């Protein structure tokens, strides 16, 4: 499938499920791996991951298209288009869009924990992948001061 076919597909889904035409550009972006699609608020264009189509087929990809169209139509209407907005969540459910896309098979796993922030007062631990300045944060449980230590490497 190429960008022209995707454009037609998005326009068709927009008319069928939302009753409103899609008047901007929809393209595939092969760099999208951790997300199924993107909506751009400045240009109103939509990008879809071709890897999702290859891995899960047209049914899952159409759910991603509906998700991005929810952002698109709500944003253009001046309504709540962000993931946390109740209007967005309600429209997702109404049109049968995916809330999240499926992880790609063979996707990179998360990085190992290298650091721990430990509360000096209550001992609460916060695992971190990146080095963090403990002076900028406080314990979420007791508001105590934190200290940074390097995590023990796991055997294996």
pLDDT, tens only, 72-123: 999 999 999 999 999 999 999 999 999 999 989 876 666 788 999 999 999 9
User: Which residues, including other chains, have CB under 8 Å from residue 31's CB and lie 6 or more apart?
Assistant: none
Q: Is residue 39 in some structural domain?
A: yes
Question: Per the structure, how many domains does the chain have?
Answer: 2
Q: What is the pLDDT of residue 106?
A: 79
In DSSP terms, 149 is beta-bridged to 116
Residue 155 has pLDDT above 70, yes or no: no
Tell me how far apart the alpha carbons of residues 27 and 46 are, in angstroms, rounded to a whole number.
7
> What pLDDT, in 10s, does the model give residues 2-56?
999 999 999 999 999 999 999 999 999 999 988 999 999 999 999 999 999 999 9
Q: Is residue 60 in some structural domain?
A: yes
- CATH code at position 54: 3.30.2010.10
The residue segments making up the domain with residue 124 are 115-150
Q: What is the pLDDT of residue 154?
A: 60
Q: Is residue 48 in some structural domain?
A: yes
Q: Which residues are part of the catalytic machinery?
A: 68
- Whether 24 and 88 share a structural domain: yes
Tell me how far apart the alpha carbons of residues 12 and 99 are, in angstroms, rounded to a whole number.
21
Q: What is the pLDDT of residue 151?
A: 82
- 151 token code pair: 């995590």
- Whether 44 and 90 share a structural domain: yes
- Helices 86-95 and 50-76 pack at an angle, to 10 degrees, of 130
**% helix / strand / coil in the chain, to the nearest 5?**
35, 15, 50
Q: What is the pLDDT of residue 2?
A: 96
- Whether 8 and 43 share a structural domain: yes
- Whether 49 and 119 share a structural domain: no
Q: Is residue 44 in some structural domain?
A: yes
Q: What is the pLDDT of residue 110?
A: 67
Tell me how far apart the alpha carbons of residues 88 and 70 are, in angstroms, rounded to a whole number.
7
- Whether 74 and 146 share a structural domain: no
């Amino acid at each position: 499938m190429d960008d022209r076919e995707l454009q037609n597909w998005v326009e068709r889904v927009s008319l069928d499920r939302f009753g409103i035409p899609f008047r901007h550009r929809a393209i595939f972006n092969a760099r999208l791996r951790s997300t199924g699609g993107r909506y751009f608020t400045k240009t109103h264009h939509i990008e879809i991951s071709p890897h999702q189509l290859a891995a899960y087929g047209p049914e899952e990809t159409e759910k991603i298209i509906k998700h991005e169209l929810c952002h698109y139509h709500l944003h253009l209407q001046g309504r709540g288009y962000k993931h946390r907005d109740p209007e967005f969540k309600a429209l997702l459910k109404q049109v049968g869009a995916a809330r999240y896309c499926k992880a790609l098979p063979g996707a990179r796993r998360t990085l190992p924990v290298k650091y721990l922030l430990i509360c000096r007062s209550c001992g609460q631990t916060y695992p971190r992948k990146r080095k963090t300045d403990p002076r900028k944060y406080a314990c979420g449980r007791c508001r105590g001061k934190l200290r940074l230590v390097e995590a023990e490497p796991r055997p294996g």
